[in-house]
Amino acid sequence: MKLHISPATTEVLHELADYFVAAANQAIAAHGRFTVALSGGSSPKKLFELLASDAFKDQLDWTKVYFFFGDERNVPHTDPQSNYLMAKTALFEPLHIDAAQTFAVDTSLPPAQAAEAYTTAINQHFNSEQARFDLILLGLGDNSHTASLFPHTSVLHDKSASVQDVYVEELKGHRITFTAPLINQARAVAFLVFGEDKAAAVRHILEDKEDIDNFPAQLIAPTDGDLHWFLDTAAASKLDQQAS
């Protein structure tokens, strides 16, 4: 596990954008394409905008990049809460990504069917071999959730490498999420976390004793892959360890 800690969010974003480009070019050179699962929420929006900016957009062949979502809210793709809408606006449209390269969760289906259909789409993308994403981007909630692996939900104990529908009591709604085993199959996982309000959660995940039901992001430990945390100093402020 590698910690990347920088004072300013702009530095964190540039470091992760450099890492994203390097991982993409390495995957494209090695097996002809780069398959990435994007995180949702607010943190990654600036990363997507940076990747689509003049500073980065010409650094890789975007026609060889395939985009999935590590989780999605149970809303239409036109809803401001939609993770797909955020990525479409900040990344896919500015880069003119072909629709055939983007895989949105079909939220027009009931959530359980949407999750099952997404699992099928992933398995088809990987030709029914092990679904091994080249990179999975994750955020972290201040309650230590990641993707839509929320505290005290049954999906935390799902041993299948799949996509699941989960009812989240605190949200009073359904989410569709990768399971931890699916995330942990990835070649690389990168967390992007900003701000003092996340500092306690970061410490729970990286330094406190195992307590999966309260701190679900502790589940994330790639079996045979790299784990990176990209943090600003505020989010890292409660850690004993600093960047390695």
Ligand X SMILES: O=C(O)[C@H](O)[C@@H](O)[C@H](O)[C@H](O)COP(=O)(O)O
Sheet holding 34-38: strands in order across? 2-6, 226-232, 188-193, 135-138, 34-38, 65-69
- Which segment (6-14, 121-129, 145-153, 218-226) binds ligand X by CB under 6 A? 145-153
For residue 137, the minimal CB distance to ligand X (Å) is 9
Query: Is residue 166 within the footprint of ligand X (CB under 6 A)?
Result: no
At residue 21, what is the residue type?
V
At residue 130, what is the residue type?
Q
For residue 43, the minimal CB distance to ligand X (Å) is 3
- Under rule CB under 6 A, how many of the chain's residues touch ligand X? 13
Query: Is residue 107 within the footprint of ligand X (CB under 6 A)?
Result: no
* 50, containing H or E segment: helix 43-51
At residue 241, what is the residue type?
Q
- Rounded CA gap, 174 and 60, in Å? 36
Query: Is residue 146 within the footprint of ligand X (CB under 6 A)?
Result: yes
Nearer to ligand X, 43 or 119 (CB): 43
Residue closest to 116 by CA, chosen among 162, 52, 161, 174: 162
Nearer to ligand X, 60 or 203 (CB): 203
At residue 72, what is the residue type?
E
Among 51, 52, 115, 139, binds ligand X (CB under 6 A): 139
The pattern of x and - marking residues 23 through 52 that bind ligand X according to CB under 6 A reads ----------------xxxxx---------
- Rounded CA gap, 8 and 228, in Å? 18
Binding to ligand X, residues 78-97 (CB under 6 A): 83
Cβ 142 vs Cβ 150: under 8 Å: no
Query: Is residue 111 within the footprint of ligand X (CB under 6 A)?
Result: no
What tokens appear for 109 in the block?
A: 């289906």
Nearer to ligand X, 62 or 84 (CB): 84
Nearer to ligand X, 60 or 189 (CB): 189
* Interface with ligand X (CB under 6 A): 39-43, 71, 83, 139-141, 145-147
